[in-house]
Amino acid sequence: MSTTPTPSAESILHAASAIVVGDGVETLGYGALAQRLGVTPAQVSEVFPVFESLLAALFTRETGDLARVIAANVERDPRGGLPSRIFGYALGAIYEHPFARALYLEDPAALNRIMRSIDGVVVVPDLTIHPGLLPALQAAGMARADVDPAAIAAVISVLGSGIAMSAPGQLLDAVTEGLVTMLERGVDADVTDTTPGKLVFARYAETLAVTTRQG
pLDDT tens-digit map of 136-167: 999 999 999 999 988 888 877 776 666 555 54
Number of folded domains that form the chain: 2
Question: Do 94 and 185 sit in the same domain of this protein?
Answer: yes
Q: What is the CATH number of the domain that holds 25?
A: 1.10.10
DSSP assignment of the chain equals ---SPPPPHHHHHHHHHHHHHHH-GGG-SHHHHHHHHTS-HHHHHHH-SSHHHHHHHHHHHHHHHHHHHHHHHHHHSTTTTSHHHHHHHHHHHHHHSHHHHIIIII-HHHHHHHHHHHBTTBPPP--S--TTHHHHHHHTTSB-TTS-HHHHHHHHHHHHHHHHTS-HHHHHHHHHHHHHHHHHHHTB---S--HHHHHHHHHHHHHHHHHHHH-
pLDDT at position 101:
78
Question: Do 207 and 123 sit in the same domain of this protein?
Answer: yes
Question: Do 84 and 185 sit in the same domain of this protein?
Answer: yes
Stated pTM of the model: 0.75
pLDDT at position 152:
86
| pLDDT above 60 (res 14) | yes
Q: Mind listing the pLDDT tens digit for each residue in 29-56?
A: 999 999 999 999 999 999 999 998 898 8
